Structure 1
Amino acid sequence: MVVVEKAYKFRMYPNKKQQELINKTFGCCRFVYNKYLAKRIEVYKNDRETFTYK
């Protein structure tokens, strides 16, 4: 059996408004990720339990 893998590369050239929206979106994602990572670490240190995202 032959498996063929393909990859596509795209280059984006966002305008200023789009770039601002992209930066805000990634900023929000980073904030939420770091917030819950800190919470997981805290819960594990205090209770030795795993805090999941469910």
Structure 2
Amino acid sequence: MQITGMLWGRKLLDLVEFTHSEVRGPELSVDEIKDMIKRHGQIFIKPVFKG
């Protein structure tokens, strides 16, 4: 089985206690993004396209 997308695959990785990066969904606010940058120094934001 191939799992794509950390937004959904993260739940399965949590289930088997496999380490992964911090993944947040589209509900993230600007203040939460700023807090993540403060904690980690830099972050990668991947755009989500629905169509």
For normalisation by structure 2, the TM-score amounts to 0.31
Between structure 1 and structure 2, the one with the greater Rg is 1
Choose between structure 1 and 2 for higher RCO, CA contacts under 8 A separated by at least 6 residues.
2
More helix, by proportion: 1
